[in-house]
Amino acid sequence: MSSDCIFCRIAAGEIPARLARQDEEIVAFHDVAPQAPVHLLVIPRRHLARLDQTTPQDAALLGRMVRTAIELATETGCADGFRLVWNCGEPAGQSVFHLHLHLLGGRPMSWPPG
Ligand code: AMP
């Protein structure tokens, strides 16, 4: 855990968040500034700053994060159409440097993304 990381602190229960799911490895919670009717963040408890800092040993974790997001899409009623987003690095829009997967749904979405 990184004590100056806001998502580590959410995972540790030190900062409040609207939790959707948690287990020994993964926590999912509602984004504080939702960009869609459904906007959840799926994070690992382990501090990893960026998607490109993961290694082949993290493949199972990444798969579990994706599966968690898919299951949450069903639970939140947007299984018919949803978007999963990983922002990696500031130019791509990453603002919190603890690995997270966005689940967005509940409205029509355009392409390309901004
Ligand atoms: P990104 O821009 O991909 O790094 O996404 C970071 C996301 O974290 C943004 O959508 C923020 O709204 C969200 N966020 C930041 N702080 C919190 C918080 N304390 N609780 C929930 N979501 C947060």
Nearest atom within ligand 1 for CA of residue 85: 3
Coil, helix or strand at residue 48: coil
Assess if residue 111 is contained within a domain.
Answer: no
Predicted pLDDT of residue 107:
97
Assess if residue 34 is contained within a domain.
Answer: yes
Residue 88 sits in a domain whose CATH number is 3.30.428.10
Q: Is the CB of 17 under 6 A from ligand 1?
A: yes
Assess if residue 112 is contained within a domain.
Answer: no
Assess if residue 110 is contained within a domain.
Answer: no
Assess if residue 12 is contained within a domain.
Answer: yes
100 is catalytic: yes
Taking CA atoms only, the protein residue closest to ligand 1 atom 15 is 32
Assess if residue 91 is contained within a domain.
Answer: yes
Question: What does pTM read for this prediction?
Answer: 0.97
Structural domain count, the chain: 1
38-91: pLDDT as tens digits = 999 999 999 999 999 999 999 999 999 999 999 999 999 999 999 999 999 999
Predicted pLDDT of residue 47:
97
Q: Is the CB of 62 under 6 A from ligand 1?
A: no
46-57: pLDDT as tens digits = 999 999 999 999
Assess if residue 1 is contained within a domain.
Answer: no
Q: Is the CB of 33 under 6 A from ligand 1?
A: yes
Structural domain of 32:
6-105
Q: In 85-106, which positions are buried (b, 16+ CB within 10 angstroms) versus exposed (e)?
A: ebbeeeeeebeebbbbbbbbbb
Assess if residue 38 is contained within a domain.
Answer: yes
